[in-house]
Amino acid sequence: MTILLVDDEPALTNPLSRLLTREGYTVDVATDGRLGSQLASEGNYNLLILDWMLPHLTGLQICQQLRDRGDSTPVLFLTAKDTLDDRVIGLDAGADDYLVKPFELRELLARVRALLRRVQTVDPSPTVSKLQVDDLELDLGNQLAHVHGKSIELSEKETQLLGYLMQHSGQVLTHSQIQAHLWGQNSAPSSNVLAALVRLLRRKIELPGSPELIQTVYGKGYRIGGRG
């Protein structure tokens, strides 16, 4: 497994690259965004670990460039930005997970293992390609939602989340159920990542003035459809 680590702090990259190498990974290191972007576009990496703030290009810009090219390589952000809005911005750019600095190295290793072993699939069933709940339609293969005649492009994670909710229309799905579906049974994402993903998805599919499509069941999880 090959990993690209992009961070401009040698005090972090040196011990982290040594640790990942000892764990059996092949690690390339870039200390600025321009080189990181070049390596990410030319290399065949299984995972990208990106600092948010970098010289020349930010980690956010690198991630956006990859997703604009249709590159779905998992991205783990290392960042001091820890608000919900920051997570929404990162998820919107295509990030898969976050670690907020400072962090424990063993937690980073757990995130790395989770992202590398996750199943790369959007379609939750070999026979289902489109789903519909009330006025909401989801084209799984093309990662498009349709609401009241409007087409909305979704990311891979947004498609997975919306598809899972729609497949269980009217049913409350717990936070742990959704996390296991999106990130694996034993690898819950870092704090607030699911909430940020739901918030981002709502911004895209819920039209101003219209009833909410994704309902929060406080203390339990989320539900789509089956209102009342």
Per-residue pLDDT for 98 more than 90?
no
Which pLDDT score is estimated for 212? 84
* pLDDT band with cut points at 50, 70 and 90 for residue 93: confident
Peptide bond into 102 cis (omega under 30): yes
Of 171-175, 198-202, 223-227, highest mean pLDDT:
198-202
Judge if 2-117 and 130-224 fold alike in CATH terms: no
CATH number for the segment(s) 2-117? 3.40.50.2300
pLDDT of 124 higher than 60:
no
Cα angle value 35/3/87 (rounded, 5°): 80
What six digits make up the tokens of 68? 């604009």
- pTM passes above 0.85: no
Provide the mean pLDDT of the chain: 83
- Residue 127 in this model has a pLDDT that exceeds 60: no
Task: Evaluate if residue 107 carries a pLDDT over 60.
Answer: yes
pLDDT, mean of residues 102-116: 86
Read off the pLDDT band of 49 (50, 70, 90): very high
Could you tell me which CATH number the domain at 130-224 has? 1.10.10.10
pLDDT score for 119: 40
Q: What is the CA radius of gyration of the chain?
A: 18
Per-residue model confidence (pLDDT) at position 208: 80
Q: Where are the domains of the chain?
A: 2-117, 130-224
Alpha carbon separation from 222 to 95, 101, 144, 167, 190 (Å, rounded): 22, 29, 21, 13, 18
